[in-house]
């Protein structure tokens, strides 16, 4: 049927008329016709073959660079190095393949939400059929525990309640009835006469007529949005992709220029090719992808200690760029534990301290702690009524939890805080029904029978004649009580009224006529309170330049109260509801999203739209969610954050990370870790690329200077195998320890870095330029100083030693640069050299391997080196130092001029 029809607005009669159906159901013949027209009731999924998904991983500029490196190395005959590079390529492709497979399963997880079988009326008979055979117009039978197989317009109900948390975010079961509502553009959470596919009935019974199946249901609509949503690349991945595209072009141009120049200078084709190939190998950062992957994996381990489980590695870095957090309310900003905060009785209002289901807290009157038992009888009886007229229970295992309705659980805890714990024998009960708006129990107490009643204040007041004040029964002050109930409601508290009545001791049942002339006891106002640590986390995120936006399915009054208590949208007066969003175009929402921080009563598509419009504003958006309704927004966000405790499988599969404790404060801690990891990634990139630039400049300078220095006609300063070893093992021993650098203070005291800032910026050009020039100068100088005497007469051993000395110089430049690269801005002399033991171990390992390569004969053969005289080392060290000195000067100048 048409998606434009708002079924909740239609009467039952009009619904059946449009569907051409009736309460007796459809005939088999009619069902067959409709199956052909509408198709089976199942969400369609587009499958991608595993082979195609694996091959897709190679469609990446960084992979192109590595493949080029492998081809060049193969042409040079270094098969061991080819195997190493290809190993990196396959490892990266495998990681991407696994991650993409997990992302695709977010859509397929919706299949688990579909119902295999259901009960319907067919040919006027009750039958059980596969849910995929449902068609619009079918009559579905509902009872407690039933999972709803399609979107239904309810036409018959008896105390019918549905749990829609997975779809709407509504934390409490929603009453369902057959009454139509005239209001337009209602969010699913407010459509009381419609039951939605994938949700389930918690109590009562009823019948509904199918109005939408398969992709036309609310669940199908979510699946459609997810299929159309492409996951966003993280800022670092975008930068690396752009950088590698530029790098490929630069490498090809320089290699071609180098080849042409060598050939023009009179070198043979083979020599020219070898020099150009060596240049390409020198500039390509073979070890960088592996180091970045290990850095992010290290971040994953650290995040886990912060209750944040990372599902996709790049999201670790993306956290550091976050500018907006779009958060759910229930369970994330709040405790997801209803708590009584105020009790009104006997013309007094008591405050109740303590939050959650732990039965610890005090009662306060006029901000002073009091003992409940010393107050009037009405306080004890109000709390006692909440405890006795109650079907929930409080249990303790590792923690306190409620079995049953959260609202009733809050009443139990409120009574326990006043040391009221005994329940009397129950003789009879009138269960709560939405049409009655109350619950009543008949209990035996001290040889007399008492009826306790709880329900909506309006209903309770209508049934009361008197009220209990200071232990005396007086005429009820209805207006005053109503005013107090309104005051509590305006503070976004859920309010229940309580009353009682004594009946004869031989009465064992509650009769309808008993529900009058009751004695009013009091009111209890409750709320799902904010988490205590969240307010501080929001303030920290604000100082860090991160805005918090609350998007909830709850009512606007509740959303307003919670947002004000947490300081969300401070200074903003506007709260936009889902109904208002439905009337706005995407352009209007785009103009609004940066001004509004609280959205209430939203539908699934609203959260997705808010997310995408914020991204169009240039924001890096983190989105939290736990239900099926959140999955499209989680997938579209830069960082999708699912709840580990309350989250559905669909939301977890669509997310980049999972909060093990469902706590907003953990997100802010994770952002701090993300910034820390990003800073270390920057250090790794600046270190690695400066090293590659220096090696490339050595080869290029050799060719340019060769007409003036005959030494270059014999050999290059560095052999290709030496360059490959430096690129791969230098990354392991020297670049990798940078990821273990201690966290620098004040990471949340500055705004997020501009995600548009490219890797190649002023900072990059300065550091890479300085180190590259220093490395080329040092290595070429050492090569010339020790190699020139070998030309007269020709002394191949001396030239080989000069080449080995140049190789050692490059390694030492790397070591000295590592010492200063531990901080991008602060001097190496401002922190302890022993604060990162991994740097010490890395330097020790690289120097030990250098000595073995030069002085251990089997390795000399592999790396084409030879032993060098010990008296050469002081000069080698001297020519390796300029890189360190110049970077320290650059830091001092940068700080003085305050530019980065």
* Residues designated catalytic: 328
Dist CA 647 CA 250 (whole Å): 47
Three-class DSSP category at 451: strand
Dist CA 501 CA 78 (whole Å): 94
Q: Which of 692, 710, 704, 607 lies closest to 651, judged by CA?
A: 607
CA-to-CA dists, residue 497 to 205, 389, 406, 511, angstroms? 27, 12, 17, 20
Strands 425-433 and 438-445, sheet pairing = antiparallel
Three-class DSSP category at 820: helix
Dist CA 858 CA 781 (whole Å): 28
Phi, psi (rounded to 5 degrees) for 676: -60, -45
Three-class DSSP category at 453: strand
Three-class DSSP category at 266: coil
For residue 494, how far is the Cα from the chain centroid? 30
Q: What is the dihedral of CA 700, 701, 705, 709, to 10 degrees?
A: -110
Q: Which of 85, 105, 171 lies closest to 728, judged by CA?
A: 85
Which tokens go with 105? 């399963």
Q: What is the 3-state secondary structure (H, E, C) of 768-784?
A: HHHHHHHHHHHHHHHHH
Helical packing angle, 79-108 and 61-75, nearest 10°: 160
Dist CA 246 CA 240 (whole Å): 10
Residue with tokens 């039958």, as numbered in its chain: 127
Helices (H), 516-626: 532-543, 556-566, 578-582, 586-592, 604-616
Dist CA 619 CA 640 (whole Å): 14
Dist CA 410 CA 531 (whole Å): 16
CA atoms within 13 A on the CB side of 188: 27
Q: Report DSSP letters for 122-188, one per residue.
A: ETTEEEEEEGGG--TT-EEEEETTPBP-SEEEEEEEEEEEEE-HHHH--SSPEEE-S-----SS--G
Which tokens go with 711? 């030494």
Q: Which of 451, 464, 445, 470 lies closest to 377, judged by CA?
A: 470
CA-to-CA dists, residue 460 to 247, 507, 783, angstroms? 75, 22, 96
Identify whether the C-beta of residue 890 lies closer than 8 Å to the C-beta of residue 767: yes
Q: Which of 655, 600, 574 lies closest to 328, judged by CA?
A: 600
Dist CA 121 CA 895 (whole Å): 78
Which tokens go with 15? 């619904």
Dist CA 595 CA 184 (whole Å): 26
């Amino acid at each position: 049927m048409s998606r434009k029809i708002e079924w909740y607005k239609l009467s039952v009669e009009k619904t059946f008329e449009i569907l051409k159906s009736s309460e007796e159901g459809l005939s088999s013949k009619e069902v067959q016709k409709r199956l052909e027209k509408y198709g089976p009731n199942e969400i369609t999924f587009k499958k991608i073959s595993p082979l195609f998904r694996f091959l897709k991983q190679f469609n990446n500029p960084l992979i192109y660079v590595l493949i080029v490196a492998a081809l060049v190395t193969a042409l040079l005959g270094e098969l061991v190095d080819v195997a190493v590079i290809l190993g990196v390529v396959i490892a990266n492709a495998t990681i991407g393949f696994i991650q993409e497979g997990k992302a695709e399963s977010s859509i397929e997880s919706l299949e688990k939400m579909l119902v295999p079988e259901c009960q319907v009326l067919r040919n006027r008979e009750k039958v059980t059929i596969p849910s995929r055979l449902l068609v619009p117009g079918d009559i579905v039978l509902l009872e407690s525990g039933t999972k709803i197989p399609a979107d239904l317009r309810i036409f018959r109900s008896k105390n019918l309640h549905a749990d829609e948390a997975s779809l709407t975010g509504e934390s409490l079961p929603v009453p369902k009835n057959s009454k139509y509502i005239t209001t337009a553009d209602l969010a699913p959470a407010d459509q009381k006469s419609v039951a939605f596919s994938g949700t389930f009935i918690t109590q009562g019974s009823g019948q509904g007529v199918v109005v939408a199946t398969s992709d036309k249901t609310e669940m199908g609509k979510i699946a459609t949005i997810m299929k159309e949503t492409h996951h966003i690349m993280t800022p670092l991945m975008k930068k690396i992709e752009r950088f590698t595209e530029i790098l490929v072009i630069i490498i090809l141009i320089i290699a071609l220029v180098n080849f042409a120049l060598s050939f023009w200078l009179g070198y043979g084709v083979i020599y020219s090719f070898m020099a150009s190939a060596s240049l390409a190998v020198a500039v390509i950062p073979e070890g960088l992808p592996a180091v970045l992957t290990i850095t992010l994996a290290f971040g994953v381990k650290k995040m886990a200690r912060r209750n944040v489980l990372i599902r996709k590695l790049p999201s670790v870095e993306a956290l550091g760029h976050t500018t907006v957090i779009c958060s759910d309310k229930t369970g994330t900003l709040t405790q997801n534990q209803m708590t009584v905060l105020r009790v009104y009785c006997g013309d007094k209002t008591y405050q109740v301290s303590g939050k959650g289901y732990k039965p610890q807290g005090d009662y306060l009157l006029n901000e002073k702690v009091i003992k409940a038992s010393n107050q009037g009888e009405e306080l004890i009886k109000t709390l006692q009524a909440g405890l006795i007229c109650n079907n929930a229970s409080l249990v303790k295992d590792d923690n306190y939890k409620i079995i049953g309705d959260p609202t009733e659980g809050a009443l139990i805890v409120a009574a326990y805080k006043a040391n009221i714990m005994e329940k009397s024998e129950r003789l009879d009960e009138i269960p709560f029904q939405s049409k009655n708006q109350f619950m009543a129990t008949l209990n035996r107490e001290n040889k007399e029978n008492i009826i306790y009643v709880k329900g909506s204040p309006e209903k309770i007041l209508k049934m009361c004649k008197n009220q209990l004040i200071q232990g005396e029964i007086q005429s009820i002050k209805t207006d005053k009580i109503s005013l107090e109930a309104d005051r509590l409601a305006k503070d976004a508290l859920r309010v229940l009224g309580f009353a009682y009545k004594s009946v004869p001791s031989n009465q064992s049942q509650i009769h309808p006529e008993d529900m009058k002339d009751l004695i009013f006891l009091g009111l209890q106002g409750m709320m799902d309170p904010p988490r205590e640590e969240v307010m501080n986390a929001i303030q920290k995120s604000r100082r860090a330049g991160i805005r918090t936006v609350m998007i909830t399915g709850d009512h606007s009054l509740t959303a307003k109260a919670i947002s004000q208590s947490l300081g969300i949208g401070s200074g903003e007066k506007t709260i936009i509801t889902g109904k208002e969003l439905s009337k706005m175009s995407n352009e209007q929402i785009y103009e609004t999203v940066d001004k509004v921080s609280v959205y209430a009563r939203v539908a699934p598509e609203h959260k997705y739209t808010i997310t995408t419009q914020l991204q169009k504003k240039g924001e890096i958006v983190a989105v939290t969610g736990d239900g099926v309704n959140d999955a499209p927004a989680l997938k579209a966000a830069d960082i999708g954050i699912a709840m580990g405790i309350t989250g559905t499988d669909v939301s977890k599969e669509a997310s980049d990370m999972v909060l093990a404790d469902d706590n907003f404060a953990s997100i802010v801690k994770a952002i701090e870790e993300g910034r820390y990891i990003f800073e270390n990634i920057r250090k790794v990139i600046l270190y690695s690329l400066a090293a590659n630039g220096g090696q490339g400049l050595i080869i290029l300078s050799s060719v340019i200077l060769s007409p003036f220095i005959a030494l270059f006609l014999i050999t290059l300063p560095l052999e290709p195998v030496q360059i490959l070893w430096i690129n791969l093992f230098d990354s392991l021993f020297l670049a990798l320890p940078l990821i273990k650098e201690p966290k620098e203070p004040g990471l949340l005291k500055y705004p997020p870095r501009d995600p548009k800032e490219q890797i190649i910026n002023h900072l990059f050009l300065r550091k890479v330029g300085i180190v590259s020039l220093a490395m080329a100068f040092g290595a070429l100088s050492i090569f010339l100083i020790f190699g020139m005497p070998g030309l007269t007469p020709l002394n191949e051993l001396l030239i080989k030693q000069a080449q080995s000395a140049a190789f050692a110089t490059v390694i030492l430049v790397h070591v000295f640069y590592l010492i200063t690269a531990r901080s991008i801005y602060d001097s190496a002399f401002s922190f302890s050299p022993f604060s990162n033991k991994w740097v010490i171990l890395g330097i020790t390992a690289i120097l030990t391997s250098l000595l073995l390569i030069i002085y251990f004969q089997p390795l000399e053969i592999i790396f084409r080196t030879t032993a060098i005289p010990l008296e050469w080392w002081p000069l080698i060290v001297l020519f390796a130092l300029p890189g360190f000195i110049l970077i320290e000067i650059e830091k001092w100048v940068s700080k003085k001029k305050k530019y980065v």
